[in-house]
Structure 1
Amino acid sequence: MNPLLILVIIALVISGAGLIVFIMLHSGKGTGISDAIASSLYSTSSGTSIIEKNLDRITIIFAVVFLISLILLMIIYPQGTIA
């Protein structure tokens, strides 16, 4: 395995796990995991918008890294043969 393949696979796994975590942290309609875990952080309405914006930015960064690493894997190994 060449080093580029290892780096791309590591980026794919880390960004995939990060996407799962940060998507689960987004607040839904009041019954999300973020409400259960961080309900004390959302005590003020001004702080909520800052936290949500930062959470959105981090989620978008993880999604972009995930997509780029996935596209790189498709270019490096188009038939899916990693040997």
Structure 2
Amino acid sequence: MEIALGILYVIVGGTTLLLVLLHSGRGGGLSDMFGGGMSGVAAGSTSVERNLDRLTVLFSLIFGFLTLLLAFVLDNA
């Protein structure tokens, strides 16, 4: 069980990292490379940003939950 949780933890952590990097910050970020910098031109990009925000929050919550779960499981092992 510890191995499966560890693998899931790494996958969720990596996905969270990628989602955070896709956000456009002050300088644009990596999302400019994938069309995120065209927010004024392309209609519907606000929904893409909103969905990206939702996914980032979801994966961050899952990452936090897995951190606590993994600590609990490893402490009782």
**TM-score, with normalisation over the residues of structure 2?**
0.80
**Corresponding residue for residue 13 of structure 2:** 16
Question: More relative contact order in 1 or in 2 (CA 8 Å, sep 6+)?
Answer: 1
- The answer (yes or no) to whether the contact 1:22–1:59 under 8 Å persists in 2 is yes
Report how many residues are paired.
76
2:59 paired residue among 43, 62, 66 = 62
Structure 1 runs of 4+ with >3 Å offset: 39-42
1:5 paired residue among 2, 9, 12 = 2
Q: Structure 2: where are the runs of 5+ without partners?
A: none
- The answer (yes or no) to whether the contact 2:16–2:56 under 8 Å persists in 1 is yes
User: Which shifted more, 48-57 or 26-35?
Assistant: 26-35
1:74 paired residue among 55, 67, 71 = 71
Q: Structure 1: where are the runs of 5+ without partners?
A: none
Identity %: 32
Q: Distance in 1 between matches of 2:14 and 2:37?
A: 25
- The answer (yes or no) to whether the contact 1:12–1:70 under 8 Å persists in 2 is yes
CA 1:12 to 1:5, structure 2 compared with 1: closer, same or farther past 3 Å? same
1:53 paired residue among 22, 28, 50 = 50
The structure whose Rg is larger is 1
Q: Distance in 1 between matches of 2:69 and 2:37?
A: 41
